[in-house]
Homo-oligomer: A and B are copies of this chain.
Amino acid sequence: MTLRKVPVRVDLVIFAIRDGELQVLLWQRREAPLKGAWTLPGGFVEQGEPADEAARRILKEKTGFEEQAYVEQLFTFCDPKMDPRGDLVSIAYYAVVSASGESWDGTFHAARKAPKLVFHHGQVLDRGIDRLRTKTEYSTVPLRFLDDEFTLSEVQGVYEVLLDRQLDKRNFRRKILALEAVEETDDERRVGAHRPARLYRLSASRPYLLKEKGILFPF
């Protein structure tokens, strides 16, 4: 038996909410094969580097974001026929970043109306959208679309985009506060002539999953 030894890639679905919709960062190939075709950002894992670190490194290269971004492994594609550049393993991740970034390497596209992607990247994107939808039901991952401090209106805006419907403001506030998913800060933000809005942050006691306690986001 010949052992199959292959290079390992990480490929990233990088989500942000921009212009009131879920968007994904794409990149146009600058070299053959398929020069000009759209791809997900990605790169090869280096000698001695765990894949998780490679995903964080590439995320930083493409967006400038480090710890504040949420990164989660999605699925691994390992089929000798999937990539014309040769046999490889592609470990796919998805990342959730705030729209406030300024050093994007690539362009954003509506996630559900993205251009055709090369290789297996269309499947990766589909899995990313599906996972994000699932996590919207029982985790605080959607809050990672916001900066470290945010207003409750901003939180509501994120959920309205992800759920694709309008939510009642009073109900939404009552529920998100009851879940203890966010906590008040001492800061306020004034926008225009409105009353200053209280700023919140991700609750330290519930940093990620609400699933353990059997709580579904009831929005």
CB-CB nearest in chain B for A79:
B50
User: CB distance A75 to B73 under 8 Å?
Assistant: yes
CB-CB nearest in chain B for A216:
B216
CB-contacts of A1-48 with B (<8 A): 1-8, 44-48
How far, in Å, is A54 (CB) from chain B's closest CB? 8
Of the candidates B4, B52, B78, B89, the one whose C-beta lies within 8 Å of that of A47 is B4
CB-contacts of A104-138 with B (<8 A): none
User: CB distance A46 to B2 under 8 Å?
Assistant: yes
Specify which chain B residues have a CB less than 8 angstroms from the CB of A80 in the assembled complex. 48-50
The total of chain A residues at the interface (CB under 8 A) is 26
Of the candidates B46, B50, B52, B78, the one whose C-beta lies within 8 Å of that of A8 is B78
Task: Report if A103 contacts B (CB, 8 A).
Answer: no
Q: What is the bound-complex CA distance between A5 and B46, given in angstroms?
A: 9
Quick one: CB contact mask for A48-79 with B, threshold 8 Å, 1 for yes? Answer: 11111000000000000000000001011011
CB-CB nearest in chain B for A92:
B76
Specify which chain B residues have a CB less than 8 angstroms from the CB of A44 in the assembled complex. 1, 3-4
Of the candidates B1, B3, B46, the one whose C-beta lies within 8 Å of that of A4 is B46
Specify which chain B residues have a CB less than 8 angstroms from the CB of A1 in the assembled complex. 44, 46
User: CB distance B6 to A78 under 8 Å?
Assistant: no
